[in-house]
Chain A
Amino acid sequence: DVKVTQSSRYLVKRTGEKVFLECVQDMDHENMFWYRQDPGLGLRLIYFSYDVKMKEKGDIPEGYSVSREKKERFSLILESASTNQTSMYLCASSFGWPTSNYGYTFGSGTRLTVV
């Protein structure tokens, strides 16, 4: 069964810490994405990557960075965690155009709490 695996289901971090969220996919997908999900706001795109070492900002990149050194792994980095970054973080992957029409495969999510 194809998978997108997020390394942690729950994380609790302190304000000011540097936080790493890891995502690995085994489908040889070109595209990978990081979203955050908040009640009433739906899913908002933070960053995405369409190839190794390539990245583009999404709608809400402030306070975040990403790294994609290998095709299967996409990391989200919170440089200095703040309480307003408490959220559910979802990783997703997809094939590139045109097979990206088949949509995304999502991980199970990481619920991050910053205290």
Chain B
Amino acid sequence: AQSVAQPEDQVNVAEGNPLTVKCTYSVSGNPYLFWYVQYPNRGLQFLLKYITGDNLVKGSYGFEAEFNKSQTSFHLKKPSALVSDSALYFCAVRFSTGTASKLTFGTGTRLQVTL
């Protein structure tokens, strides 16, 4: 069965420093990978996706993610964190099965950026 893991419940980083939010997945086929962000009392917003092609994917708000097939990882990164990046981040995976699409989400990682 497909699954995705976010090993850190919370990540703390100082503003201006680089940030990484980790995601690993378990797959038996070709994964389609997504990152979403959730601000307080809001729904999830799409950040970026990996479908195929270049392993480094660029998304909204200066975020990027690197797909690593050998390590089955899709870590979210940003070169310089902002206080406004503080939010809950979810990694998700979908498989190219051809059936009705379903995303499986990780448990989420809370990013706290401080001055």
A-side residues, CB < 8 A to B, are 4, 9, 31, 33, 35, 40-43, 45, 48, 50, 56, 58, 90, 92, 94, 96-97, 100-109, 111
Also in contact, A101 and B49, with CB within 8 A (given A31-B101, A40-B107)? yes
- List chain B positions with a Cβ less than 8 A from chain A: 6, 9, 32, 34, 36, 41-46, 49, 51, 90, 92, 94, 98-103, 105-108
Min CB distance B106 to A, Å, is 6
The CA of A11 and the CA of B41, in the complex, are separated in Å by 14
When distances are taken between beta carbons in the complex, the residues of chain B under 8 Å from A33 are 102
A31 touches B43 (CB 8 A): no
State the main secondary structure of chain B at its contact with A. Answer: loop
Query: Do B41 and A48 touch (CB < 8 A)?
Result: no
Q: Take A4-B43, A43-B90, A109-B43 as given contacts and tell me if A103 and B103 are in contact as well, using a CB distance cutoff of 8 Å.
A: yes
Least CB separation from A102: chain B residue: B49
Residues of B within 8 A of A43 (CB): 44, 90, 105
List the B side residues contacting A94 at CB < 8 Å: 101
Q: Which among B36, B92, B99, B107 is the interface contact of A97 at CB below 8 angstroms?
A: B99
Q: In this complex, what residue of A is CB-closest to B110? A: A39
Give Cα A82 to B3, complex, Å: 29
Judging by beta carbons under 8 Å apart, are A101 and B32 in contact? yes
Chain B residue with the shortest CB-CB distance to A59: B104
Q: Is the CB of B108 within 8 A of A42?
A: yes
**In chain A, what residue has the closest Cβ to B4?**
A42
Partner of A96, one of B9, B36, B100, B105: B100
Residues of chain A lying within 8 A (CB to CB) of residue B102: 33, 45, 48, 58
User: How far, in whole Å, are A97 and B101 apart by their CA atoms in the complex?
Assistant: 7
- Chain B residue at smallest Cβ distance from A39: B108
Selected from B34, B100, B105, the residue in CB contact (under 8 A) with A56 is B100
Q: A31-B100, A31-B101, A48-B100 are in contact. Are A108 and B43 (CB under 8 A)?
A: yes
Given A101-B101, A102-B49, A103-B92, 17 additional A-B pairs, CB 8 A: A31-B100, A42-B90, A43-B44, A43-B105, A90-B44, A92-B43, A96-B101, A97-B98, A100-B94, A100-B101, A103-B103, A104-B44, A104-B103, A107-B43, A108-B43, A109-B43, A111-B41
